[in-house]
Amino acid sequence: MRQFILVSAAALLPALIAHNAAAHAVLETPTAPAGGYKAVVTIPHGCDGEPTNSVRIDIPEGFVSVKPMPKAGWTLAVEEGDYAKSYQVHGKAVASGVTAVTWSDGALPDGQFDEFALRGTLASVEPGQKLFFRTVQTCASGEVAWIEIPAEGQDAHALEHPAPGLTILAADTGMAAHHAHGDQATMAGDLKITTAWARAMLPGQPSGGGYLTIENTGAADDRLLSVASPSAGRVEVHTMEMNNDVMVMRPVEGGLAIPAGETVTLKPGGLHMMFMEVTAPFKEGAAVPVTLEFEKAGAVELELKVGPARGGMPEMDHSGHGK
Ligand SMILES: [Cu+2]
């Protein structure tokens, strides 16, 4: 039987977890790596039954060179200004641009939803960082302001009108760049394991995430059968997918295939190890020992260096690695 796990906001990636998508203004795509991004904010209902006449979205710092999409039946207005700093976009410095967009003179009935879109570039953002698109919808006699921002570690469910949030994902190019500055490998038969790290856990977070890259340099398929750690009562390998704005994690059943000649990457926002029944929350700078049990390569022991709770992986010195 398939097991589905709906993650609470306090779990692995607190930022990724969406609220009730039917009731809140949300981003259609709530996770993205640095680079080009299309922000689509969904307005789910009116103000206390009244139709929505205008929608204003504040552009968060770090989302630059923004262009709004015009909508038939709505008047489009943009506000421009200086950014908090200068960004490099395609080799050029960009220091100002669109800071807010308003679509007005429209009439979106309470019983219907609509989407308001912007394109731009996510610049100078770090994996794990959150950007909030404060959104205010105005009706004839009231407004709904989706402008609340969760405090560090706070569950977004606790907010009545959370601002639509975007979580920055690690880019593959970032991983490659990291390898280039000296990530050493743990070898086990034909398997080469690199970039082994875990995220520091926030107070109250029930489970922790761990990541690594496994390259099968041999001619035979292998399989990661299980993971164990003295730091956790149970460790599972999970897949992670967005499904209607809700992050769904599922245990990988029957082991994780490591096909001959291929590389399998566990990283934030995708495949990951999940540490449950954790004895003490992972602290940045510490190491989490793990034993990986492979079908062919056998048992492999290594340590995951603990990086920040948010943001990218740690700088690794690998002094604690077996080789
Ligand atoms: Cu998980």
Question: 316: CA distance to ligand 1 center in Å?
Answer: 23
| pLDDT at residue 316 tops 80 | no
pLDDT digits (tens, 9 = 90+) for 247-277: 788 899 999 999 999 999 999 888 999 999 9
For residue 157, the 8-state DSSP code is G
| Ligand 1 centre distance from Cα of residue 130 (Å) | 20
Question: 26 C-alpha to center of ligand 1: Å?
Answer: 23
172 pLDDT above the threshold of 80: no
What gap in Å lies between CA 185 and CA 217, rounded to an integer?
Answer: 13
Q: How many whole angstroms from 273 Cα to the centroid of ligand 1?
A: 7
Domain boundaries, the chain: 13-169, 186-317
Tell how far the Cα of 68 is from the centroid of ligand 1, in angstroms.
Answer: 35
> What CATH number labels 186-317?
2.60.40.1890
**Separation between Cα atoms, residue 1 and residue 131, nearest integer Å:** 37
- Using the mean position of ligand 1's atoms as its centre, give its distance from the Cα of residue 12 in Å: 6
**CA-atom Rg of the chain in angstroms:** 22
Q: Give per-residue pLDDT as tens, 192-246.
A: 999 899 999 987 788 999 999 999 999 999 999 999 999 999 999 999 887 777 7
Q: Which two tokens stand for residue 69?
A: 């999409």
d(CA 117, CA 304): 40
Could you tell me the two tokens for 195?
């970039």
Q: Binning pLDDT at 50, 70 and 90, where does residue 181 land?
A: very low
Check whether 20 has a pLDDT greater than 60: no
- In single-letter form, the type of residue at position 285 comes to G
Dist. CA 17 → ligand 1 center (Å): 12
55 Cβ neighbours under 8 A, 6+ residues apart: 41, 43, 102, 103, 104, 106, 116, 135, 136, 137, 138
Q: The dihedral of CA 194, 37, 91, 99: what is its sign? A: negative
Ligand 1 centroid vs 234 CA: distance in angstroms? 12
Distances (CA, A) of 157 to 18, 36, 53, 121: 8, 28, 27, 28
Per cent of the chain over pLDDT 70 is: 85
Q: Which CATH class is domain 13-169?
A: mainly beta
**Under 8 Å between Cβ of 41 and 135:** yes
Which of 88-92, 164-168, 187-191, 216-220 is predicted least confidently?
88-92
pTM above 0.75, yes or no: no
Tell me which of 60-64, 82-86, 138-142, 315-319 is least confident: 315-319
Task: Give the residue from 13, 15, 8 showing the smallest Cα distance to 166.
Answer: 15
Q: Which of residues 270 and 39 earns the better pLDDT score? A: 39
pLDDT value of residue 33? 86
pLDDT digits (tens, 9 = 90+) for 131-159: 999 999 999 999 999 999 988 777 777 78
The one-character DSSP state at 175 is H
Q: Do domains 13-169 and 186-317 have the same CATH topology?
A: yes
